[in-house]
Chains A and B, each alone.
Chain A
């Protein structure tokens, strides 16, 4: 069964600290993996999209890694800011024609 598991479910960190969010998946065959940030009451916004051949991709203070062998991805946030408080959603896509599988998300709270 195609599944996407995210951990932790929620996380609280102090402003300026780094954190890492995890995404494990069982989707096969695999096409790509996306990370989205969703602020409360808003639609998700894309952070990164990674294909099978990509191991790491950065977007500012966000760095995503992908290990297609172990079917694991991580999203590392450096020097967190209060505005990073949001839900982070991992979405995995199978190859052409298959559905997008959503993780339940990790809720990050950054406090001062």
Chain B
């Protein structure tokens, strides 16, 4: 089956640094990818929808200058957490949709970010 790969799976950084997380669809092209964050014991929260070749659409309350999303190709989207602070520590997950709106949605394994 289709696979979505996320990297890194875990990252620890100092406050004030920027961290980039990659999301790749390994065997299909994804015009649309999604980024979520998840706090412990809580549900997934959609942060933004990433469209290949165009600007991402951010959910209300998500700072676009804080969470930079780039979807440069049909198989790669990146999320950069800029000037990370401890409150940005969370589990970040991406998903990629195969095909159109009714296509299967595949999730990455997630990236655990810890900001010291």
Please report A residues at the B interface, Cβ cutoff 8 Å.
31-32, 34, 36, 41-46, 49, 51, 87, 89, 91, 93-100, 102-105, 107
When the two chains form the complex, which single residue of B41, B42, B107 contacts A43, counting CB atoms closer than 8 Å? B107
B interface residues, tally (CB under 8 Å): 23
Q: 29 A-B pairs, CB-CB below 8 angstroms?
A: A31-B102, A32-B102, A36-B107, A41-B91, A41-B110, A41-B112, A42-B110, A43-B6, A43-B95, A43-B110, A44-B95, A44-B107, A45-B107, A46-B106, A49-B104, A87-B43, A89-B44, A91-B105, A93-B102, A94-B101, A95-B101, A96-B101, A96-B102, A97-B101, A99-B46, A100-B105, A102-B44, A103-B43, A104-B42
The reply on B61 being an interface residue by CB < 8 A is: no
Interface centre among B49, B104, B105, B106 (most CB of A within 10 A): B105
Instruction: List, in ascending order, chain A residues with CB within 8 A of B49's CB.
Output: 99
Instruction: List, in ascending order, chain B residues with CB within 8 A of A99's CB.
Output: 46, 49
Instruction: List, in ascending order, chain B residues with CB within 8 A of A102's CB.
Output: 43-44, 46
Select from chain A the residue with minimum beta-carbon distance to B2: A46
Instruction: List, in ascending order, chain B residues with CB within 8 A of A43's CB.
Output: 4, 6, 93, 95, 107-110
Q: How far is the CB of A14 from chain B (nearest CB, A)?
A: 22
B101 touches A93 (CB 8 A): yes
Please report B residues at the A interface, Cβ cutoff 8 Å.
4, 6, 34, 41-44, 46, 49, 91, 93, 95, 100-102, 104-110, 112
Q: How far is the CA of A51 from the CA of B104 in the complex (A)?
A: 12
Instruction: List, in ascending order, chain B residues with CB within 8 A of A36's CB.
Output: 107
Q: With contacts A87-B43, A105-B43 known, what are 11 further pairs, Cβ within 8 A? A: A31-B102, A32-B102, A43-B4, A44-B93, A94-B101, A95-B101, A100-B46, A102-B43, A104-B42, A104-B43, A107-B41
Interface centre among B34, B95, B112 (most CB of A within 10 A): B95
